[in-house]
Amino acid sequence: MDFWDYAIIAVRVILAFAIPLVAVIFLVWGERKINADMTNRIGPDRAGPWGILQTVADGLKLFFKEQVTPRKVEFIMYAAAPVIALVPAFMTFLIIPWGQGFTFEIGGKVREFAFVGADLNVGVLFFLAMSSVAVYAVILAGWSSGSKYPLLGGVRGTAQAISYEAAMGLAIVAVVLFASTTSSEGGTLSLVELVERQRGTWDEVVALPGGLAWFENVLGLIPRWNILPQFIAFVIFMIAAVAETNRAPFDLVEAEQELVGGFHTEYSGFRFAMFFLAEYTNMFNMSAMAVVLFFGGWDGPTFERWLPGFFVTMLPLFWFLLKTAVVLFVYIWIRATWPRLRYDQLMTLGWKRLIPAALVWLIASTIVVSIRQFGWPWA
Amino acid sequence: MGILNDFAKGLKVTLRQIWGERVTAEYPKDMREKPQRFHGRHVLNRYPDGMEKCIGCELCAGACPAHCIYVRGADNPIEAPVSPGERFGFVYEINMLRCIFCALCVEACPTEAITMTHLFEMSTTNREDAIYTKRELLVEPDGTPNHMFPDDSLADVEELRKADGWMRAVAPGGRVAYEGLTPWSESAGVGVRPAEPGQDPLRPIAADLPDFLTIEPASPRSVAEGAGGSEEPTGEEATIVSPDGERSDGPERSGGEDAVPEEES
């Protein structure tokens, strides 16, 4: 460890905080703009060009506002809830692989710079764990506010998150199971490894019987992303992801028409800003996870033959951001279109549709994977 | 799967709107076009010779459902008459906080003295400023309307000059579709406010009127701009007909110094 190692660590720490904040700034602005476009309005256009600094202005305003604390709150829980919301969001952000790592030489040593906060070998589990911890923020905020609407919002949020987490977990299990067959090293829970296994095209993994050899040429054109074999899992994951992040049409937690602001009704100033930040960071995380699990992460053409090395390193980053932006657009698009579910519909969808569907899909995947791995039972 | 079809249909609707027209008017940068009969702030008009139209009859105050108008008439001084009638509006106040902008005062006025304009920016920082007196309501002898806060960034005197179509629709002897004939009197600064064609969708423009009642239809441009702002009316061919059928030519009426407009009704 010399100076440069510490410098790299410092840069990574700063980036780990700066990137989510900048991403949220663009995300909130983008959401407001797209929502406005879809409802024939103009949207924010006063602060900065195209209103792009609107979120900065809003954030500054919230930062300087008084933090009103109602008299009946349980103060320790009340103050801790926004932190509990924000920390898991940032922690999840750390495990997302952004792009291919690269090496460079500085200070007489070859050093590595990975585009991922931490490549955990249990990344998927960590992701699920963090999204479970975030539920505590909602229930604690709702309960400690000492007010009825936040409590209702908190209870709703907890029930919803628990219901949909099951479906999401099962969908991810199917993906992980499938990924275990595409490499000789067996199963993995590392997100970087999951992305690596989605590189290339389908003809590399699918062995076709003789008569269908011509079809391999077609498969050679299709990227080896999990979306194709795991489409059902993707649909379940996306529905659960929208529900997990409490976004429309599953935003019963903060249903303005019924619950004022839901669990954050009694919050103001910077504490409110933390909830806000957490919600949008989670939204980004979920989109990034969808890209990592189903759309090959940073996989994409890098044009090594024509482009200089710098671009070859940066293009994966670009592909990752592009895919994430598309998923985020769908998120916002859905919000601008579909009305909110009723509470019983929400629970019906979660328990009676998604979880059975995820279970059936998991069993089906297991059967296919087993046959691929061990052959037909009678053979 | 019908439901998936419906989901897709909904998503398509919102996606299409991205390229759709924006309905937001970026006030105050862009002002939306106001309807011809928009009920904005009142003004008290004058005849072209500078005489006040108000005769202090208090019919407006009587018609007002919000009781926001206070009028006190006084006898006209013989040597320097203020209005062509016996009396004139000595005090004229409208409490804009109570006014509901129904324009019943405009309908009640026998001399078309009070009309409404297209001005709607009337915020004040204290309640007393919301009581408009003759100082604000009465136009200058040359027809320039007064604004309470002329230096205000939002003050728009042009909007005050635009008389809404309501006065012309309800003028004595007027008709709801007031196109085709001008039975209303002239005002200082604007002369005879033109009638706009197209007010009666059931009737082709000036088709069933006898020849001597027709005037040149106002150009489409002046329809779009309201009652023409400061521009002079196309008065050459305009024929003014009083209710009893007597004809007189418009430009001649405003000519002489001593021309006293006849009281209608």
* Structure confidence at residue B99 (pLDDT): 93
Contact B55, B90 (CB under 8 A): no
Is pLDDT of B24 > 70? yes
Q: What mean pLDDT comes out for the span A86-110?
A: 84
Q: How far is CA B184 from the centre of its chain?
A: 12
* Structure confidence at residue B208 (pLDDT): 54
Confidence of residue B59 (pLDDT cuts 50, 70, 90): very high
Is pLDDT of A23 > 70? yes
* Structure confidence at residue A211 (pLDDT): 66
A164: nearest Cα among A234, A242, A247: A242
For A208-212, A358-362, B69-73, B85-89, which range has the lowest pLDDT when averaged over its residues? A208-212
For A359-368, B9-18, B179-188, which range has the lowest pLDDT when averaged over its residues? B179-188
On whether any CB of chain A is under 8 Å from the CB of B7, the answer is yes
Q: Do B24 and A338 touch (CB under 8 A)?
A: no
One-letter amino acid of B156: D
Nearest CA in chain B to A329: B15
* Structure confidence at residue B200 (pLDDT): 67
Confidence of residue B219 (pLDDT cuts 50, 70, 90): very low
For B39-43, B141-145, B184-188, B231-235, which range has the lowest pLDDT when averaged over its residues? B231-235
When CB atoms are compared, the residue of A38, A41, A42 closest to B14 is A38
Is pLDDT of B108 > 80? yes
Q: What mean pLDDT comes out for the span A41-52?
A: 85
Q: Do A333 and B24 touch (CB under 8 A)?
A: no
Most confident of A153-157, A234-238, B183-187, B217-221: A234-238
Contact A123, A191 (CB under 8 A): yes
Chain A to chain B, count of Cβ pairs less than 8 Å apart?
32
Beta-carbon contacts of residue B36 (< 8 Å; ≥ 6 apart): B164, B165, B196, B199, B223, B226, B227
Is pLDDT of B71 > 90? yes
On whether any CB of chain A is under 8 Å from the CB of B24, the answer is yes
Q: How far is CA A119 from the centre of its chain?
A: 16
Q: What mean pLDDT comes out for the span A311-337?
A: 88
A183 or A58, higher pLDDT? A58
* Structure confidence at residue B233 (pLDDT): 45
When CB atoms are compared, the residue of A37, A42, A338 closest to B17 is A37
- Residues A180-213 pLDDT 10s: 877 777 778 888 888 888 887 777 766 666 667 7
Q: What are the residue ranges of helices labelled H in B138-243? A: 157-161, 166-170, 220-224
- Partners of B26 on chain A (C-beta within 8 Å) are 42
Average pLDDT, whole number, for chain A?
85
* Structure confidence at residue A236 (pLDDT): 92
Q: Do B7 and A338 touch (CB under 8 A)?
A: yes
Per-residue HEC secondary structure of A57-83 comes to HHHHHHHHCCCCCCCCCCHHHHHHHHH
ipTM: 0.72
Is pLDDT of B92 > 90? yes
A90 or A106, higher pLDDT? A90
What does the angle CA B257 – CA B261 – CA B265 come to, to the nearest 5 degrees?
170
Other C-beta atoms within 10 Å of B56: how many? 23
If interface means Cβ-Cβ distance under 8 Å, which residues of chain A face chain B? 34, 37-42, 333-334, 336-338
The encoded tokens of residue B35 equal: 């309807």
Is pLDDT of B166 > 90? no
Chain B closest-CA separation from residue A39 CA (Å): 7
* Structure confidence at residue A276 (pLDDT): 87
Q: Is B215 helix (H, G, I), strand (E, B) or coil?
A: coil
Most confident of A67-71, A80-84, B143-147, B230-234: A80-84
When CB atoms are compared, the residue of B15, B20, B24 closest to A42 is B24
* Structure confidence at residue B172 (pLDDT): 65
Per-residue HEC secondary structure of chain A comes to CCHHHHHHHHHHHHHHHHHHHHHHHHHHHHHHHHHHHHCCCCCCCCCCHHHCCHHHHHHHHHHHCCCCCCCCCCHHHHHHHHHHHHHHHHHHHHCCCCEEEEEEEECCEEEEEEECCCCCCCHHHHHHHHHHHHHHHHHHHHHHCCCHHHHHHHHHHHHHHHHHHHHHHHHHHHHHHHHHCCCCCCCCCCHHHHHHCCCCEHHHCCCCCHHHCCHHHHHCCCECCCCCCCHHHHHHHHHHHHHHCCCCCCCHHHCHHHHCCHHHCCCCHHHHHHHHHHHHHHHHHHHHHHHHHHCCCCCCCCCCCCCCHHHHHHHHHHHHHHHHHHHHHHHHHHHHHCCCCCHHHHHHHHHHHHHHHHHHHHHHHHHHHHHHHHCCCCC
Helix (H) or strand (E) holding B92: strand B87-95
Contact B42, B117 (CB under 8 A): yes
* Structure confidence at residue A287 (pLDDT): 92
Q: How far is CA A96 from the centre of its chain?
A: 9
CA separation for the pair A82, A270 (Å, rounded): 9
- Residues A116-147 pLDDT 10s: 878 888 889 999 898 888 888 888 888 898 88
Confidence of residue B231 (pLDDT cuts 50, 70, 90): very low
Please tell me whether the overall predicted TM-score, pTM, comes out greater than 0.90 for this model: no
- Residues A4-14 pLDDT 10s: 888 888 888 89
First to last CA, chain A: 56
For A130-144, B174-188, B226-240, which range has the lowest pLDDT when averaged over its residues? B226-240
One-letter amino acid of B69: I
Beta-carbon contacts of residue A222 (< 8 Å; ≥ 6 apart): A201, A202, A228
Burial label, A279 (beta-carbon count in 10 A; 0-12, 13-18, 19+): buried
- Percentage of residues in chain A having pLDDT higher than 70: 97
When CB atoms are compared, the residue of B11, B20, B26 closest to A40 is B20
Residue with tokens 């649909």: A235
First to last CA, chain B: 72
* Cα atoms found within 13 Å of the Cα of residue A341, Cβ hemisphere only: 21
Is pLDDT of B225 > 50? no
Pick from A32, A33, A38, A345 the residue to mutate for testing the B interface (most B CBs within 10 Å). Answer: A38
Q: What mean pLDDT comes out for the span B235-241?
A: 44
Per-residue HEC secondary structure of B11-25 comes to HHHHHHHCCCCCCCC
Burial label, B203 (beta-carbon count in 10 A; 0-12, 13-18, 19+): middle
* Structure confidence at residue A126 (pLDDT): 92
Residue with tokens 């008299």: A71
B115: nearest Cα among B193, B196, B198: B193
Torsion (CA) B115, B119, B125, B130 in degrees, nearest 10: 10
What residues are paired with B249 via a beta bridge? B239
* Structure confidence at residue A188 (pLDDT): 84
Domains of chain B (ranges; CATH) run 42-170 (3.30.70.3270), 203-248 (no CATH)
**DSSP assignment letter at B68:** -
Q: In what order do the strands lie in the sheet with B131-132?
A: B69-75, B87-95, B131-132
- Residues B114-143 pLDDT 10s: 989 888 888 888 888 889 999 888 988 888
Q: Do B14 and A40 touch (CB under 8 A)?
A: no
Q: What mean pLDDT comes out for the span B38-65?
A: 90
For A117-126, A253-262, B246-255, which range has the lowest pLDDT when averaged over its residues? B246-255
- Percentage of residues in chain B having pLDDT higher than 90: 14
